[in-house]
Amino acid sequence: MRIRAALVRTPGGPFVTQEVELERPRPDEILVRITAASICHTDLIMRQVWPPQRLPMVFGHEGAGVVEAVGDAVTGFVPGDTVCLTYRSCGDCAQCSTGEPAYCERSGLLNAGGTRPDSTTPLSGTDGTPVHGQFFGQSAFATHCLTTESNTVKIPADFPATLAAPLGCSVQTGVGTVSTVLRPAPGATLAVFGAGSVGLSAVMAAVAADCTVIAVDPVAARRALARELGATAAVDPTTEDDVAAALQDLTGGGPQYAIDTTGQATAVSQAVSALRKRSTLALVGLGTAQFDTMPVITKGITIRGVTEGDGLPAANIARLVQLHRQGVLPLEKLVAAFPFKDIEAAAEAAASGQVVKPVLTL
């Protein structure tokens, strides 16, 4: 079938929408008509570093939509199901078999290979030239995409698509890092570095857990939003002489937990310096961070890498929908809608910090 997709043709190049061809679903695949797709920072990072030999490429890994067709081997979905898309996992490896699909041993191939596992791509140009895709097993920056049962989750039909799209990655990551990985007790102190969609999702989860939360972000509007969402205080790292000291003052000796969503060396170092003894730092942001190991050792800090918030996507996403309906997770405060044709403007708004979570509507 002929669809419309946003292609990146050169490393770091813009998103350009055009018509492409999409194959019919194979026996294990699901055809989803995309109704909303949100832009994650990972999409913006990956288009900068994506190998030229795997271009043109269709990114997008936070999709929501409606099932239009299923392959003969698909048993859990039927046409008409409303779904949220997430990362793909194999279901067979040691990690998947023990309930940890976020750490699937085939994750790189399934989510960032640019093709199906057999090296084919279901996308092609109208002239027949190959187009890479299957990003996170979906490539949701398109009117339609092919997914599998492992990365497709049913959601209620009345749940807004603009709020459903971010659940599959950024919201799941932020909330899961707090509620599944760190599990702070009521009254605990937690610092969140980076008040983007992941960081603010973590803020909401920590507030719901009755924690004292401090947000650290250079953008005034995001600091204000963190306060609106329940953060006790917000620190501007560009004007604060000593961010670690400020956090220690605000928390009576340093937070017990910290989450870094930025991947920046400075932020990670500030978190390590600020944390009190026997505390935990969760690393969520992509980047290359160097820091002094002395305080990690002398304070007995636990550093934990977190992918997609841990846990099982189907259970995680169902819980996120419930939390929103309970008023605990006001996602509408993070979202700004853009028409699909304006994807490059939406990407620029995200990169500049003008909006927290741009969502493309189709």
- For 233, other C-beta atoms within 10 Å of its C-beta total 18
pLDDT recorded at residue 265: 94
CA distances from 13 to 7, 131, 230, 324, 350 (A): 9, 15, 38, 36, 16
CA distance 309 to 184: 14
CA distance 187 to 311: 24
pLDDT recorded at residue 289: 77
Q: Which of 358, 337, 356 is nearest to 347 (CA)?
A: 358
CB of 189 within 8 A of CB of 258?
A: no
Q: Which residue has the tokens 């085939």?
A: 106
- The tens place of each residue's pLDDT in the chain, 362 residues long, gives 999 999 999 999 999 999 999 999 999 999 999 999 999 999 999 999 999 999 999 999 999 999 999 999 999 999 999 999 999 999 999 999 999 999 999 999 999 999 999 999 999 999 999 999 999 999 999 999 999 999 999 999 999 999 999 999 999 999 999 999 999 999 999 999 999 999 999 999 999 999 999 999 999 999 999 999 999 999 999 999 999 999 999 999 999 999 999 999 999 999 999 999 999 999 999 888 788 899 999 999 999 999 999 989 999 999 999 999 999 999 999 999 999 999 999 999 999 989 999 999 99
CATH of domain 171-305: 3.40.50.720
CATH of domain 2-169+310-361: 3.90.180.10
Q: What is the pLDDT of residues 77-103, one digit of tens each?
A: 999 999 999 999 999 999 999 999 999
pLDDT recorded at residue 226: 98
pLDDT recorded at residue 291: 84
CA distances from 34 to 85, 250, 315, 347 (A): 10, 44, 22, 18
- Contacts (Cβ under 8 Å, ≥6 apart) of 171: 197, 198, 201, 320, 329, 331
Q: Which segments of the chain belong to CATH 3.90.180.10?
A: 2-169+310-361
Q: Which of 96, 100, 66 is nearest to 81 (CA)?
A: 66
- Contacts (Cβ under 8 Å, ≥6 apart) of 74: 25, 27, 28, 29, 30, 149
pLDDT recorded at residue 282: 98
CA distance 322 to 319: 5
Q: Which segments of the chain belong to CATH 3.40.50.720?
A: 171-305
pLDDT recorded at residue 290: 81
Can you read off the two tokens belonging to residue 21? 């061809």
For residue 348, give the H/E element and its range.
helix 343-352
pLDDT recorded at residue 346: 98
The DSSP bridge pattern shows strands 152-154 and 233-235 to be unpaired
